[in-house]
Structure 1
């Protein structure tokens, strides 16, 4: 692949160039080429990175190098956090906002250290891109601007130039003319100033990037030793101790955040910062004439270190200087070799060769990799305020009436029969009689009558009293409330049958109250039909039931006694089987566990204890035999 210098492009190539427009409906004004071709990537292969704005690579090694770069790691972490990828130029500007370099480790190799990863994480947390607000009616998709401005030469050649080489006020459609202006030779040649400072390291150089008219004329005559395209005129590097190793950040930033440290290392770092500032400013003063003649000035420094170069008394640079640029790509630790690499990267033209069909295919893949715009959610309609229900003011008579009902329901639910009788004698007629329906404002959902309420509350005496007061047991219960209480209907009955107070009974004594009243007062109600009572219960039936209970209990007691007698006889037979094997000696000690046949030693013990003692004696005798 041909290598071109940005200030010495072939005239044939320069005349055939047209500006490439962005592949989307960007609202920036750009020149459109004759055919709608997408922006070509900076490689000659279809290997690309779908995260870093579709950048392509020539081989696998270049792809691996890109994946290890800080730019790629930052875009990956930013995308995981919901952000958007940035271009090389934007990433370079983000780097300048940090105090230390993303690669400002002890090594100048391409491999990042632990501090690199920490710097990338810090950069992600501090510089999250804000999502742009897009109205629902907007159909345009804005794409991030890349650091390169691309030009096309038919039929299949594309070149890329860094935008930083063009003047700031140059519009997008003026880049082609600006590129042609760069080819015009200058009498004294073109020169740049390049400065880098990070982590106490400084590197600076004055370089010549294009030849003057005489040198071009000599080179056209094919002299034996042609003048090189770039040349380093002056350079300087030095280092001061300003940052603690693997801690990051300068001592001044640490002092501003936590206060002045009093250690010896902190004093040395403060002195190093002052010495670094004085050395850089003295160097700028020595190079003031060369800096004045420079066409562009590239500075790589953080916000705090950037103040070293400008806006001080007698400074050679000012903040509003139109020549100031930042490096539009990631840089490593400031060294002379790094400055040479950056100079080569800026002055060499990026070349690729793609046909229009291949460019269109890559353009579609590039558009697919861009984040889709998120529509702002439509504002939710204001919630309608529910009208407040004003409480109804009750009269004194209504308040007394509600109080009586509440006391009545409470007495029935708690089974206070004596107080209920006294209240009913005084207020029964005013409350509507024994079959009066419970008002809805009471909030009782289980029953609608006093009889149903007493049955649900499982109050036997209150239920019997209400039935004796001639309460109607045939009044139906609301079905939903009855089913909610877990009342189940019997098999074979109609599932749509209305339940009554008897169906609400949860225990046998309550059901016996209904059956007993049905036997005593059979002519009061339709007990066995509408009231759902299965049968009457008379005094004789209750006595017969009691006799059966007594007989059943007596049978159980007799069986328990027989079982106890059998157990005692079994224990006695077991003791008798063990006792003949025990022989009592005529003389000797009478201790528990003493002689082999000591009957007196086990006198007064229970049969179980005697069996255990005999078992121990036999075990000891067996052990003695084994020893012999």
Structure 2
């Protein structure tokens, strides 16, 4: 393997193909929570799709809390959707109970250790995009019950420990007082030297990572490897005495990393491997079970198996651990994963808009007898048969896999994989079996590959102990200047937050006023508009529509502009004469309200207001581009003249139209004496039924019914008139 001379943190580091200069410099570090370390966010992001959601020892040192941060659980999330899923998860509800009891929060790994052995989610909400667990049908009252069960379980364990400690203290003599100095406190925390050592080892085992230092990294930066990728023998050793030997533990960790270095797969081997595997990438339907998959002849190396099942979705993949060189093999650390086999299934098993599987609903409420429930029951059994058939076909690959990573929440999903059933392939007691030590989404091929990348890539974290002078036994002390600066920063942040909140409130209020005023002006509700301005203490001369960059508000930024553009002379007069609107304001195009008026009555309203408003109003009508003033009487006379002119033109148009129609009628009468006219007269006269059918031709059924009702009404009226005339 060629030595990688560049900065190893600039590109992803693969656990099974590390550069020589990194392997030779790795030093294991036993970093536990007792070290009071503070973990910073990852300073180098290798891949946007690979996000480390598992929490490490200590607390996040970042002081800024964003909308994607859970301050209670001390976790950051890449998106708001991830945070919303976390707020429904068991860990968040458990830490909420801890806070109410006055206790400290726990990390995700610590919570999984506490909930070990429980088959279903405590709160009934596993973090997934597709309701991956049948427990999603539980209600909020069941969440509290599940958490109470866990707290009760902890209380029972704590009580048992206290009783055991009391019994040991009673049976031991005064010779053991040195070893038992500092007995257990009522809170159940160990106080003896042996118990402190055991507690430190247990705390270290709860962390999802094993940390390694290297001179290739900056100060206080460490490489992290998931503990799930290591065996129990590598973590704890075969001899219990080795647990206290740091040198033996360091040697064991270094050996574990070095033995995982594999030579890249050559191009010929990768091609033979790819051709030896049948295609199993399509989503499952009702097609037949795929052909059995055997170990490829071109590859007999190490590999791992990953699968996820939940919510009717199943995805599985077998991936070779040696990296594969791609076309640009001359670039250091340029590798690709080799997929030996992969398969996805999906069946409609979850109840839409209600959550949970059909079997969970049947167990809680009894068997349903709808068509949808029968289809879901059939699909559940079909999914079980498909998954177990695929595991039987992949048995050679599963038997030789280094590790088996499985996500199967709920009893139904676990029974699907682990049975018991005839020809069972996977077993719960398999030492290779692992859970994913981080949150996962819907079971898809992309999610399986994301999980593989997350598991096999080294993480880079900055872990700074609390207090730079910890080795010297002195705690850092901030001087008065630093304290004052920190207090000043807090006050400035609070001030900016208050200003932003006030600005947001003002914008929301302005947006509400804009929508209300424009709606009233559009319907010419003059009294209601004036009342709204008065009740909300708004000045028509100064109020501007919000947001100003909207196209409509750019053209008409004020009420007067809006009224003029709507050709509402009554509203224009009310705004100018009663509420003091300013006609000199320009819009985004540099036009006044008068210039937006589209008809003569609206323009006359501006001229009448100019004549009626006194000079003391202080309006520059020339700047408003309004012509000479006009009295209301002149405006009325001009409007009457225009109305008479319009009526005269309309009467003349009607006379012209009548003359044209008369001329056409005379022409038709003259033509009736011709041969064509006589032929037209000789045509048979249509009957009443034919005329009714012709009228109804092309109408819709509703129109025909309406026409028929009208005919019957006219006939009834005719009969009534005839009867009255006969009497």
Question: Could you say which TM-score interval applies, normalised by the shorter chain?
Answer: 0.3 to 0.5
Larger radius of gyration: 1
Q: Could you tell me the TM-score, scaled by structure 1's length? A: 0.46
| Larger fraction in helix | 2
